[in-house]
Structure 1
């Protein structure tokens, strides 16, 4: 692509922009960067273009701001482009198309699948549908599109679009609901794949530990498109030093949660305070074994310190975890996560009972939890 194409947003109006059109001879014409602006201006004078879906006339736009693209001549109700596309989306799709071509995969740009009435941003080897998502999308729509691809034995791969590079390393991540729904899995370990067109790099949010609501602790790492492979490279487990950073951020979040509960008002009616009272614990400083980061704890909506207190109290009273789930005392993020929750709570109880009577400091709690993390990672990656 010529360097003179400047990267900006398209105007916010109902204009559907696409990169593939049909000609009067019913041939596909793709704007994949093989033509210069001068060549496109000449082609525009000689050829007419039409939408491959609704067959309405298209304009070939070759400006000096946005990348070349097609747009419907009139405001369109074309149903198979769900929303007006930003320059970020157009640029990203084009770079992804070029990425797969360079790796000698059969890539089809904006491929329309008539059986499910969906259009993949890039279809790879007729087996993978690449969805490059740059704007918020209802989770129901995301799941519906994934299901549509799966009906055709096509694996959907969602990539979140980035306008600018991310800060890499271990940190607190704020994830929207639709971004959580875009998670992929290495074995059973979740991660989110992102793509940044301005620097042509893939980013990974990996080793994700659920904190609360939209907050997660995880690792951000990038990989240049020139070094990426397909199927896409999978993120590596954390080193002990990285896991220590996770624990530090996690425990800060735990302290914030504890403070919020202590100043919430009526302590008698406060679940956290009641659990600490029932277990004879200091509510201002619960033991280190409560509120620990565990792989797979995203199955719960509740923060770690709360669900772990609930599980220990239930154990002390001889109550099963399945009862806690059925009564709603343990709240699941999705009903399908019940078995994951049961397995996780059993693992946590084993850990708790083994070390609850030990004097744990920062050093040995790190050893214990990192060893547990490594065991779970090996088990889940199989």
Structure 2
């Protein structure tokens, strides 16, 4: 069934259906889908939210086919919230020049998309670029449940796509629960390991107005979180994980064929940094490839440029797909690794964004002998 909330009559007038205006809309002679212009009928009483449905089994690419009750409820709630504040809002606004239909269109300048289902991230990026081509502001709100355990949040690969970056909020994203009618801003995200993050949270009720929200956000203080790490213990856990669960995987085969033993890799290989979430490639895998193809070929006293290092770094990582982060955001991970090597005395900084090897990165058994 194809569900929509907005329709137009023969005169081009638009109607957004609610529980309050169903009887008034029933007085219209004919109603049509704004996107495909096919006839629609009113459905009220069969589900919790009144809506329109196409008269026939019409293929309408812009209607809410397959949308969950959660998605439909969220759109209805947000429309009501804006209306109560006297803010101009259109539900399911269709833009013919880009053949896109936005969930919510606010003040004739801002598109709000509420996303519950996992779809290809490339599609979210295409939608965003289409709206930006019309010089519209675009906001993505995540609707999927966020897993929380022991003071941490766990994000799936799809949920990572909603992360944005801003100087005061740091890495952050917005979430909305239509069941609770609560927005949550997860901000100051700090990567721990795997899919887990530490994050600050601020909740916003639909009983508050937009100005209340702005005042609360204005009180947030910029900060950089610090996560205490035991690098040695982390390495042991990584080695145990690969030995038990990935011993027949491509990475372990690569090590074996190259004559390396996982536990003996240089201690600088397998370091989880705060920016690790910006790439899909596990730390121990890209750091091994970087060492094997680059650092292992350098001797004490050799120099290299930051630009050349990034050339090598790009070859060994696959960056995460996100909607808003800049395409080169993942290079911050490469820079963080260089900073780590400087901190541990492997390389030294010299002028003009260059580095000098102060000591070689050697396998642990070689260092012992």
Same fold (TM over 0.5): yes
Change (3 A) 1:227 1:204: same
**Is 1:156–2:138 an aligned residue pair?**
yes
Matched, 1:297 2:286: no
Further displaced range: 23-32 or 337-346: 337-346
In structure 1, what is the equivalent of residue 162 of structure 2?
Answer: 182
- Counterpart of 2:93? 111
> In the alignment, is the contact (CA less than 8 A) between 2:161 and 2:321 conserved in 1?
no
Q: Secondary structure at the match of 1:123?
A: strand
Structure 2, unmatched stretches of 5+, are 347-369
Q: How far 1:252 sits from its partner (Å)?
A: 8.5
- Residue matched to 1:368: none
Q: Is the 8 A contact 2:82 2:88 kept in 1?
A: yes
Query: Would the aligned equivalents of 1:172 and 1:249 in 2 still touch at CA under 8 Å?
Result: no
Q: 1:86 to 1:150 in 2, by over 3 A?
A: same
Match of 2:310 among 317, 322, 333: 322
CA 1:239–1:298 in structure 2 vs 1: closer, same or farther (change >3 Å)?
Answer: closer
2:62 and 2:118 map into 1 onto residues whose CA distance is 18
SS in 2 for 1:76: coil
Distance 1:173 1:209 in 2: 10
TM-score by length of 1: 0.69
Aligned partner of 2:241 among 248, 260, 265: 260
Deviations 1:249-269 (A, max 9, x none): 999876543212234266852
Q: Deviation of residue 71 (structure 1)?
A: 0.8
- Matched residues in 1 for 2:24 and 2:90: separation? 25
Which residue among 203, 206, 210 is the counterpart of 2:184? 203
2:5 to 19, 39, 44: 19
Match of 1:346 in 2: 335
Equivalent residue for 1:173?
154
| C-alpha deviation, 1:136, in angstroms | 1.9
Q: CA–CA distance in 2 between the matches of 1:157 and 1:90? A: 17
1:153 Cα offset (Å): 0.6
When residues 269 and 238 of structure 1 are mapped into structure 2, their CA distance, relative to the original with a 3 A threshold, is farther
Q: Equivalents in 1 of 2:153, 2:231: separation in Å?
A: 9
Structure 1 residue 67: Cα displacement: 0.8
Q: CA RMSD in A?
A: 4.0
User: Do the aligned partners of residues 133 and 332 (structure 1) sit closer, same or farther apart at CA in structure 2, a change above 3 Å counting?
Assistant: closer
Superposed displacement of residue 115, structure 1 = 1.2
SS in 1 for 2:26: helix
1:84 to 44, 50, 66: 66
Q: Which of the residues 22, 32, 51 maps onto 1:50?
A: 32
Spell out, residue by residue over 1:100-150, the C-alpha distance to the aligned partner (whole angstroms, 9 max, x if none): 234443222111111111111111122211011121222222111111101
Contact 1:195 1:202 in 2 (8 A): yes
Give the CA deviation at 1:350. Answer: 2.9
Distance 1:237 1:262, change over 3 A: farther
Q: Bigger CA drift: 61-70 or 339-348? A: 339-348
Is the 2:18–2:50 Cα contact (8 Å) retained in structure 1?
A: no
- Post-superposition shift, 1:63? 0.4
Partner of 1:277: 264
**Gap change, CA 1:259 and 1:168, over 3 Å in 2:** closer
Q: CA deviation at 1:195?
A: 0.9
In structure 2, how many angstroms separate the alpha carbons of the residues matched to 1:86 and 1:250? 44
Per the alignment, residue 175 of structure 2 pairs with 194
Higher helix share: 1
Match of 2:119 in 1: 137
SS in 2 for 1:223: strand
Equivalent in 17, 26, 50 of residue 31 of structure 1: 17
| SS class of match (1:269) | helix
Secondary structure (helix, strand or coil) at the match of 2:256 reads coil
